[in-house]
Structure 1
Amino acid sequence: MYIPKAFEVNDKTKLVNFIKDNSFGILFSQEESGPLATHLPFLMDEKTGDNGVLVGHMAKQNPHWHKLNGKEVLVVFPGPHAYISASWYNEPNTVPTWNYVAVHVYGTVRIIDKKEEMVERMEKTVHFYESSMPSPWNAKFDDEFIDRLMNGIVVFEISINKMQGKWKLSQNHSVQKATKRY
């Protein structure tokens, strides 16, 4: 990702918190047949490994997972974005732009095939997403119905090699010169 210095965010805590708050990402990989992308929820575990891991899962019927084990991938976490009109700035030589926040995560995939590990990752994922609910759903992974569903997914983790953050929020324009707000 191209990141001019004014828009670069390197603070690991900010990047981790952004991923947790915007955890529906896009997993990209390159295959012989071309690029693949899958939209998935991810669980950020910053305490595992040197740089943390992302935990994810997808349908076993999705062919994207077939060649992912050991492969380097990119996960993009998009955040808020907005069109910015040049008319909002009371200064010459401005053009429209787009403000946005995004984090890119690069890492290596490990397919988790042991049932106990799969259940542990899915329990943590369900807990993360349900914890803010007034009456959180409690998955019973020993239930026959849930067990059948577990057989239809592939659970994986991505060991993070690098994270990049870009907060492009008109930092290159003076606040005093802006005439309108978004």
Structure 2
Amino acid sequence: MYIPKSFEVQDREKLVNFIKENSFGIMFAQLNGQPFATHLPFLLDENSGDNGILSGHMAKANPHWKEIHNQRILVVFQGPHAYISPTWYGEPNTVPTWNYVAVHVYGKMVLIQDKDSLKEIIRDSVQFYEPSSSIVDRLDEEFFDNLLNAVVGFRIEIDQIEGKWKLSQNHSEERQRRVTQALKKQEDPNSKQIANLMERHLENA
């Protein structure tokens, strides 16, 4: 990912928290020599492996898994994003842009097909998104077995994480505050979230 120095984030805790809060990502890998993408929820275990491990599962009917074992793949986690109007700067000769937050994770894919490991991945997924639920334990055993036969699990051994917080840091503080105030007046939630992130950045600058 192209990351100008002013937008780069290397704080591991910040990156880990972002992935957990925006865990529905897009996995990119080659299939039949062509780019292929799958939208999936991911679980991050930041304490396993050298750089952490992502895990999850996909439908066995999805052809993506058939060539993905041992591939180096990319997973993109997208946060809030918002259009930035040049009129908000209050100065001439300015152009529109887009502010956003994103994290890219790279690593080697390892497929998981044995039932015990698949059960663990599915249990962990439900526990993460619904901590008080016991839905997995209430499933009929035959039904659960049929479910496991229809999915493929995976673990991604992370070797690189990139973080980009594009929040107008390349502009003056005055401009950043004008943009923040304008974003707060927008109706969409993304604009308000970007405004909050910009305010936080200015407070910590």
| Aligned counterparts of 1:156 and 1:96: Cα–Cα separation in 2 | 41
Q: What number of residue pairs does the alignment pair up?
A: 179
Gaps of 5+ in 2: 184-205
Alignment partner of 2:162 out of 161, 164, 170: 164
Ranked by relative contact order (alpha carbons within 8 Å, sequence separation 6 or more), the top structure is: 1
Moved more, 37-46 or 114-123: 114-123
Provide the aligned C-alpha RMSD in A.
1.5
Larger proportion of strand: 1
Question: Residues 24-48 of structure 1, C-alpha deviation per residue, up to 9 Å, x if partnerless?
Answer: 0000002334110000000011111
Query: Does 1:5 find its partner at 2:2?
Result: no
The within-5 A match list for 1:133-172 is 136-140=133-137, 143-172=141-170
Give the superposition deviation at 1:170.
Answer: 0.9
Could you tell me which amino acid in structure 2 is paired with residue 45 of structure 1? Answer: D
The within-5 A match list for 1:99-114 is 99-114=99-114
Secondary structure at the aligned position of 2:15 is classed as: helix
| Aligned counterparts of 1:27 and 1:40: Cα–Cα separation in 2 | 7
| Aligned counterparts of 2:53 and 2:154: Cα–Cα separation in 1 | 10
The alignment-based identity, stated in percent, is: 59
Gaps of 5+ in 1: none
Query: Does 1:175 find its partner at 2:173?
Result: yes
Compute the TM-score of the two structures, normalised by the length of structure 2: 0.83
Give the superposition deviation at 1:181.
Answer: 2.3
Question: Residues 51-100 of structure 1, C-alpha deviation per residue, up to 9 Å, x if partnerless?
Answer: 00100110000000001111100000011000000001122332100000
Larger proportion of helix: 2
| Aligned counterparts of 1:142 and 1:111: Cα–Cα separation in 2 | 26
The within-5 A match list for 1:17-96 is 17-96=17-96
Query: Does 1:115 find its partner at 2:112?
Result: no
Could you tell me which amino acid in structure 1 is paired with residue 156 of structure 2? Answer: I
